[in-house]
């Protein structure tokens, strides 16, 4: 159990507190001068991996990201939050962004190199709402998987996962190696302290070129045709009674 290595996938997204704006031309969102951060669900996955190491259930936490060189900043943040090492699968400027299938293929390549026994990912990304990467990666690796995890416990040669389903809670026991995706209620991530931020600068961060994993150039299957701001909300209107409300709804064509 002590030799267990946990791989955590992390993604760089626009900070959740920032209002997203459409860039001029409507081809993309505005990213210049905008604060970026770890995807919140990836942060939860990282926190769970660090807690497993602190409890002695894991020996090493490896953070992995896929993207351009700017993602090194995100990986340094992951190192400050407790990851031991980091790997960036680097794309050249102008390539991508890769889709879920391409990201899963890149992560599978890193898994083949690093040989982790447990992979933890966030259940989805907040920028494109993608929630397929974990399932695609598990299929590529032919590993058992547990999605939407709200509790994770390591056992001898297995991981016990409590997950949230429509009817309540479901508990699964997966033989290692296995893949887990983290839900919102799995834990509450810690804040990076100044000493840990300074230590993160000395932790190893390896950059692996996309082509070095033997992958074809990332060609997303989806193409954004255009983006536009949502229409401004209209003002409210008071009515005197229920009859007036029904009449107003009828005039608006709602009923």
Per-residue pLDDT of 207-231, as tens digits, reads: 999 888 888 887 777 777 888 888 8
Q: Give the C-alpha separation, 124 to 129, whole Å.
A: 6
Q: Enter the pTM of the model.
A: 0.84
Distances (CA, A) of 34 to 17, 21, 60: 11, 10, 32
What's the Rg (C-alpha) of the chain? 21
Q: Are 186 and 44 in contact (CB under 8 A)?
A: yes
Per-residue pLDDT, 9: 93
Token digits of residue 144: 């058992």
Burial group, residue 208, by CB count within 10 angstroms (0-12, 13-18, 19+): middle
| 62, two tokens | 């490896």
How far is CA 78 from its chain centroid? 12
Residue showing tokens 């929630």: 131
Cβ 48 vs Cβ 162: under 8 Å: no
Residue-wise pLDDT for 116-147, tens only, equals 999 999 998 887 766 788 999 999 999 999 99
Domains and CATH numbers, the chain: 5-251 (3.40.50.620)
**Within 10 A of 249 (CB to CB), how many other CB atoms are there?**
12
Return d(Cα 15, Cα 64) in angstroms, integer: 19
Six-digit token pair at 34?
Answer: 């905008």
Q: Which two tokens stand for residue 46?
A: 């990282």
Cis status, amide bond into 58, omega within 30 of 0: no
pLDDT in single tens digits along all 255 residues of the chain: 457 899 999 998 888 777 878 877 777 777 777 788 899 999 999 999 999 999 888 889 999 999 888 889 999 999 999 999 999 999 877 666 778 888 999 999 999 999 999 999 999 888 776 678 899 999 999 999 999 999 999 998 899 999 988 888 999 999 999 999 999 999 999 999 999 999 999 999 999 998 888 888 877 777 778 888 888 887 788 888 999 999 988 988 888
Q: pLDDT value at position 67?
A: 87
The residues, any chain, with a CB within 8 Å of residue 175's CB and separated by 6 or more, are 144, 157, 158
């Amino acid at each position: 159990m002590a030799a267990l290595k946990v791989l955590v996938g992390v993604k760089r997204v626009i900070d959740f507190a920032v209002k997203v704006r459409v860039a001029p031309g409507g081809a993309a969102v505005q990213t210049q001068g905008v604060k970026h951060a770890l995807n919140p669900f990836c942060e939860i996955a990282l926190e769970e991996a660090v807690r497993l190491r602190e409890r002695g259930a894991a020996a090493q936490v490896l953070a992995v990201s896929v993207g351009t060189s700017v993602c090194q900043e995100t990986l340094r943040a992951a190192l400050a939050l407790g990851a031991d090492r980091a790997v960036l699968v680097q794309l050249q400027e102008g390539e991508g962004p890769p889709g879920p299938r391409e990201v899963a293929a890149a992560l599978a390549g890193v898994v083949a190199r690093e040989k982790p026994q447990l992979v933890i990912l966030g259940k989805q990304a907040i920028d494109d709402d993608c929630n397929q990467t974990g399932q695609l990666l598990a299929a590529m690796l032919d590993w058992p998987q547990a999605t939407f995890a709200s509790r994770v416990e390591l056992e001898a040669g297995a991981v016990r996962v409590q997950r949230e389903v429509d009817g309540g809670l479901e508990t699964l026991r997966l033989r290692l190696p296995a893949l887990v995706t983290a839900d919102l209620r799995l834990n509450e991530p810690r804040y990076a302290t100044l000493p840990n931020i300074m230590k993160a600068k000395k932790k190893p961060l390896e950059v692996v070129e996309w082509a070095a994993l033997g992958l074809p150039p990332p060609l997303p299957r989806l193409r954004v045709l255009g983006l536009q701001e949502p229409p401004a909300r209209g003002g409210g209107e008071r009515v005197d009674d229920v009859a007036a409300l029904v009449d107003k709804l009828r005039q608006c064509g709602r009923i």
